[in-house]
Structure 1
Amino acid sequence: MTFDDILVPVDGSDASLTAARHARALAEAFGGRVTLVHVVPNAAYLVGDAIIVPPLLLNELDENGKVVMEKARAVFQGFTGELAEETLHGDPGAAVSALAKERGCTLVIMGRRGLGGLAGLLLGSVSNYVLHNTACPTLIVKETGFAGV
């Protein structure tokens, strides 16, 4: 099995940047492509469909997404392989899983933020959702543990 099309969801966390570093290392070793994806949660996902979210908040979420992608892009400075970027709107787990299927990705590498206990149970976990709803292998990394970085 080759990992020639790697999808990396990024949210600005240290764990997602560590995932990007892993993706870069694998892509450089095996000549693969990397796609960075940031999912901007939609208003219904944030607050439910009974409340209207002001456009200012939506603009702020989009602007934050640009900063997140900028941080992730910095991990690939000097990268000579193919790098693509996607910004999507919606439920992060569902959007990442759908994009992995649509692109025919061979690997998803993503960070785990570690919302354990009650918070993890109540809020769910994007990495857990992707792990269970994506057909390709999924590598979940913690924010630490990348040798040489």
Structure 2
Amino acid sequence: MIDEMHESAIAYSSEFTASAAAMLEGTGLRFETHELIGDAPSEIAKAVKEYDCHLVVMGTRGMSKLGNLLMGSVATRVIHEVDVPVLLVK
């Protein structure tokens, strides 16, 4: 069952990243997209090292200030775990 959930999540993510990649094609920007399963900040930090990334671009889900204060956000954790700039898109 968990494998099916992972496959479903990867399929959904692949559709989303393909759409984003289509918007960037022809811009002259060099980019790669990757779908990962696991703790997002940790997996992103590993990928940054593995793929020698120069920038992380990620969206924010707009957690409330209180929610962000109490739980922290994925974006905040990524910013602290990677050694490259992080561009947040709202």
Please state which band the TM-score falls in when normalised by the shorter chain. 0.7 to 0.9
Identify the residue that residue 85 of structure 2 maps to in structure 1.
137
Which is bigger in relative contact order (C-alpha 8 A, separation at least 6)? 1
Instruction: Note the residue ranges of structure 1 that are not aligned, 5 or more in a row.
Output: 1-52, 143-149
Q: Quote how far apart the aligned CAs of 1:131 are.
A: 0.6
SS in 1 for 2:41: helix
- Equivalent in 42, 65, 72 of residue 13 of structure 2: 65
Identify the residue that residue 101 of structure 1 maps to in structure 2.
49
Q: Quote how far apart the aligned CAs of 1:81 are.
A: 4.3
Identify the residue that residue 84 of structure 1 maps to in structure 2.
32
Q: Quote how far apart the aligned CAs of 1:104 are.
A: 2.8
Cα distance in 2, alignment partners of residues 133 and 57 from structure 1: 27
Instruction: Note the residue ranges of structure 2 that are not aligned, 5 or more in a row.
Output: none
Structure (1 or 2) with the larger CA radius of gyration: 1
Q: Does structure 2 conserve the Cα–Cα contact (< 8 Å) formed by 1:101 and 1:135?
A: no
Cα distance in 1, alignment partners of residues 7 and 39 from structure 2: 17
Q: Pairwise CA RMSD of aligned residues?
A: 2.3
Cα distance in 2, alignment partners of residues 58 and 72 from structure 1: 21
Q: Where does structure 1 differ by over 6 angstroms across 4 or more consecutive aligned residues?
A: none
Please report the TM-score for the alignment, with normalisation by the length of structure 2: 0.73
Q: Does structure 1 conserve the Cα–Cα contact (< 8 Å) formed by 2:58 and 2:87?
A: yes
Q: Quote how far apart the aligned CAs of 1:54 are.
A: 4.4
Cα distance in 1, alignment partners of residues 65 and 29 from structure 2: 39
Please report the TM-score for the alignment, with normalisation by the length of structure 1: 0.49
**What is the count of residue pairs matched by the alignment?**
89
- Percent identity over the alignment? 29
Q: Which has the higher strand share?
A: 1
Q: Which has the higher helix share?
A: 2
